[in-house]
Amino acid sequence: MRRQQGQQPREQDSKAASEKGRLSLWTAGVILTFFLGLSLPLRANVVGVDTQNFNPTTNGLDFVTVHSSQVLDPGIFNLGLFLNFAVNSLPQYESEGSRTKLSDTLLSSDLNFGIGLLPNWDMGISFPAVLNQNVSSGLDGARTEFSQTGFTEIRANTKYRLWRSPEDKWGLAGVLSANLNRIRNNPFLGQDAGPILNLEMALDHRLDSGWVLGFNAGRRWRQTGERIAEVPIDPLPDQWLASLAASYFFTSFDSKLILELFGAVPAQSHSQSTSKELSTAELLVGVKRDLRHDIAIHYGGGTQLSKGTASADWRVYLGVNWAMGPFWGRGSAPAPGTQEVTREMGPGQVSPFVGRPQSAQESFVARDLLFAFNSEEVDPRFITYLEQMLAYLQQGEGFKSLIIEGHTDSVGNPDYNRELSLRRAQNVRDVMIRLGGDPERIRAVGRGQAEPVADNSNYQGRSQNRRVEFKVQW
């Protein structure tokens, strides 16, 4: 760390094979990045570590830096990469420093990996890095800067969803994370400091108007070390954390507007700085746009609401999330409130075509299994399920009628999606007729994106919405 003396700083088989190949590639990437993170520590200050305010979530659901109660479904994998350009975020000051007269700029990145482990439980790991910095010379007062670029820390987290209400209107989750410092001579943590632990509760509420509201609150515990003798800075104290968020998904643009307010206040007194100097608050406004069903880009910017340690005068960011899978498990879970007579079809499921009918009306749902992306051709692997269904429907006196409904997610043109869903339903009907089904009893309908059963603004919600429903009348 370099400083100046002065005041203190404040679908299809080929598709399945390619997906397995991508998983192996990204697994290798995770391992490689992990060892790079271990081998490239910095000599620097605290920015990029525990008081770096811009920390994108690893699961890529709902917001940017604020946690929602949603977790990745089992076997869903998310890869994220964010770039963050911040102005005046390093702890250094001069009398004329402002948004128009820059003192320092910092270009940082966050490489994120998230994966769903079990229902209601996911985990992730982040590798923040400093890519470039520019610090004005001749500053009056204290000056801190990084002596080289590279990884600043390893950030690991796990989230468990504790509760969600019927129809998924409310949700509550606990988030535990740890920051492993990779910066040498970090005066804000001290010599031989231990990991920083963070515990937060995440509450969210989905309004009927389409808005989603989020609230996080928690505490950060620093295992600080001894003060570095040659640097007149005491390690920073523990903090209370809080953040608010709101988002609205514009279906016609495949885009989500995101508003966030996040900050922290000290939980303990500090010998050199006031509570105000150690408090941070930033406002962020951004957009998440879905380029296709599995890739979303983020862009936006923000500004500080209070001038505290590591608060940027302003910042802009650009990011991408790429979701894949599920690579194991049942995939997307049924929507809350689904009746028992609605049964899932697909790999990993207990066959729904057993026994006698449970009701005069039954429904079977196949999610994201029948077709390749943007295709209406029935996957050959699914024909076995259609054969089993037809045998089930023809037992005894047989069924009276079967309606095959095609549904899509919201990505793309609504008219095209409606036509695509109809072609898909018609192709499934044709297969069932070739297998011996009565064409007079089977009808195909295309619903398009008009009847979603889950959130269209993220990957796994869209996966639930891409479905074919078989509605049987006995």
Do 2-324 and 342-473 fold alike per CATH? no
Contact indicator for 161, 69 with CB cutoff of 8 Å: yes
- If you write DSSP's letter for every residue of 399-445 in order, what string do you get? -SEEEEEEE--SSS-HHHHHHHHHHHHHHHHHHHHHTT--TTTEEEE
Instruction: For the chain, 474 residues long, give each residue's pLDDT as a single digit of tens.
Output: 333 333 333 333 333 434 444 544 554 454 444 444 444 444 433 333 444 678 999 999 989 999 999 999 999 999 999 999 999 887 754 444 444 567 888 899 999 999 999 999 999 999 999 999 888 765 555 567 777 888 888 999 999 999 999 888 999 999 999 999 888 878 888 888 899 999 999 999 999 999 999 999 999 999 988 888 777 778 888 999 999 999 999 988 889 999 999 988 899 887 766 777 788 889 999 999 999 889 999 999 999 998 777 788 999 999 999 999 888 865 433 333 333 345 555 554 545 666 666 667 888 888 755 676 666 777 777 888 888 889 988 887 788 999 999 999 988 889 999 999 999 999 999 999 999 999 999 999 999 999 998 888 889 888 889 889 999 988
Structure tokens at 18: 């390619």
Grouping H, G, I as helix, E, B as strand and the rest as coil, residue 15 is helix
Locate the domains of the chain by residue range. Answer: 2-324, 342-473
Pairing of strands 401-407, 361-367: unpaired
Q: Is the peptide bond before 326 cis (omega within 30 degrees of 0)?
A: yes
| Residue 380 to residue 301: CA distance in whole angstroms | 47
Residues sharing a CB contact under 8 Å with residue 62, sequence separation 6 or more, in sequence order: 68, 70, 204, 212, 214, 245, 247, 457, 458
Residue entry with tokens 């811009």 = 54
Fold of 342-473: 60s Ribosomal Protein L30; Chain: A; (3.30.1330)
Contact indicator for 169, 145 with CB cutoff of 8 Å: no
Domain 2-324 class in CATH: mainly beta
- If you write DSSP's letter for every residue of 42-97 in order, what string do you get? EE--STTSTT-S----SS--SSSSS--S--PPTT-EEEEEEEEEEES-SS---TT-
Regarding pTM above 0.85, the answer is no
DSSP code of residue 226: B
Question: Could you tell me which of 431, 429, 428 has the C-alpha nearest to residue 442?
Answer: 429
